[in-house]
Amino acid sequence: MCFARLFDSRAGKTVLFYRMKIFRTLCIASVLFAMLTMLSCKTNHNAPPADTPTADTSASPAGTEHVFRLGAYVWYGFSYTGSHYTDRLYSEFAGREPEWGWTERSNENMAYQIKIAKEYGLTFFAFDWYYGNPRLNNAVTDFLRAEGHDDFSFCLMVANHEGARITRDNWQDACMTFKNYMSRKSALKVDGKPVIIFYDIYNLIADLGGVDGVRECFDYLRGQFDNGAYIMGCECPYGTPSTGAIDSNFEGFSADALKKRLENDRKCGFDALTGYNYRRYSPVNGSYELAYTTMTLHHEKAWNAMAKYTDLAYAPCILSGWDCRPWETDWPGNTTGYRSCYGTGRNAGDFRDHIINAYKWLLANPEQNAGNLGLIYAWDEVCEGGFLIPTKGEGYEMLNGVKQAVETIDRGEIR
């Protein structure tokens, strides 16, 4: 393109008039582009990576429907190597090695996990999710990249304990991420509302400005969706009386303390309650070893306490196992030398009966039914002894227990 030159005799110089005009235009465009780039860099570091599929607000997945909608908590610790793999795990408990090896992370492996979860009767995964700790949130990220996730439901279990607590100052930021996940096609729903679970109610109340502050924050979260949100919290009826911290300590149980916690749960605005697990720390008759069935009975006793002391909806917390002896050793996660009871002798038959008992609880307490949900601890907590995934020592033992229970319930044999 040719540009006309204008000569200014007074200045004694050539003025490239059109060049200057275009130059000014390009400068303005560059400034605008820079401003847009700066705005786009205000990234939510808790959000999924850019290559994660975008939110889809259409209907829930059309996978296999079961009468009892069973889900399992997903930890995903085997996706990276770390100090959580202790000497005791590698030696005394080597049989817990997953079928695919101690460390594995790939889209293909996640797709396989979704496949077997569906085949054996699960309806959803509840992913442990940690605010401000993206590395610990790889499970849900990989799930949304994996084949088969579109017709298998999921939700977040927000692990708001030490190291991942959410305060009122960052609540809106957290809600941005919650919305991203809860708006997806495969988001777990109850009454048409996407589900989210919070691990520590005591911390929520402390960090969000008391009971009224929690309610305000929950109202804000619900306001992000056309139909609201279905918000659940983990409550341990026989836990530490003042905080509800996990511990099936029947000797220290206080009905008044539990009633107070449950009333606070109602005031906070929870739609329903559940649990993560109800393990016991103090020994029984001097021994830390308990039968697996004793631990499942402890859980069932907790379900009955929920029916007795509140009318809030409740999704039974179901135990696949608890034995964290691999972590009762010298490693950074156990600086105090803590111990807890552990259950031995878990098997598919007893697990099947435990699941069926959870469904019977729902039938006996229909007014407290939380969308026919049941939460299993856990899908892959190999270090803590609560896992369904196939391992080199047990194979598909516990998945077979799930399958047997689900098929029995689906046939209408439990009334």
Model pLDDT, residue 341: 97
Residue 49 lies in a domain: no
Whole-prediction pTM value? 0.87
Question: What values do phi and psi take at 45, rounded to 5?
Answer: -70, -5
- What percent of the chain is predicted at pLDDT more than 90? 81
Residue 23 lies in a domain: no
- The answer to whether 166 touches 174, Cβ cutoff 8 Å, is yes
Model pLDDT, residue 5: 28
In this prediction, residue 44 has a pLDDT band, given cuts at 50, 70 and 90, of low
Which CA distances in Å does 188 have to 27, 182, 193, 206?
Answer: 49, 8, 8, 28
Q: Is the pLDDT of residue 86 over 50?
A: yes
Residue 283 lies in a domain: yes
Place of tokens 């139909």: 227
Q: Is the pLDDT of residue 46 over 80?
A: no
In this prediction, residue 135 has a pLDDT band, given cuts at 50, 70 and 90, of confident
Tens-digit pLDDT profile for residues 175-188: 999 999 999 999 99
| Nearest CA among 189, 199, 233 for reference residue 215 | 233
Residue 24 lies in a domain: no
Residue 187 lies in a domain: yes
Domain count for the chain? 1
Model pLDDT, residue 171: 98
Q: Is the pLDDT of residue 393 over 50?
A: yes
Model pLDDT, residue 65: 83
Q: What does the alpha-carbon distance between residue 313 and residue 369 come to, in Å, rounded to a whole number?
A: 6
CATH of the domain at 243: 3.20.20.80
Alpha helices in 125-233 (DSSP H): 138-143, 171-182, 201-207, 210-222
In this prediction, residue 72 has a pLDDT band, given cuts at 50, 70 and 90, of very high
- The answer to whether 330 touches 388, Cβ cutoff 8 Å, is no
Model pLDDT, residue 336: 86
In this prediction, residue 61 has a pLDDT band, given cuts at 50, 70 and 90, of low
Residue 104 lies in a domain: yes
355: which 2 tokens? Answer: 């699941």
Q: Is the pLDDT of residue 9 over 90?
A: no
- The answer to whether 328 touches 383, Cβ cutoff 8 Å, is no
Model pLDDT, residue 18: 37
Residue 299 lies in a domain: yes
State the amino acid at position 14 in one-letter form: T
Residue 402 lies in a domain: yes
236 vs 23, higher pLDDT = 236
Element (H, E) at 342: strand 342-344
Tens-digit pLDDT profile for residues 295-319: 999 999 999 999 999 999 999 999 9
- The answer to whether 374 touches 68, Cβ cutoff 8 Å, is yes
**Domain range for residue 402?**
69-410
Average pLDDT in the 337-366 region?
97
* Spatial CB neighbours of 307, under 8 Å, sequence gap ≥ 6: 314, 361, 364, 365, 368
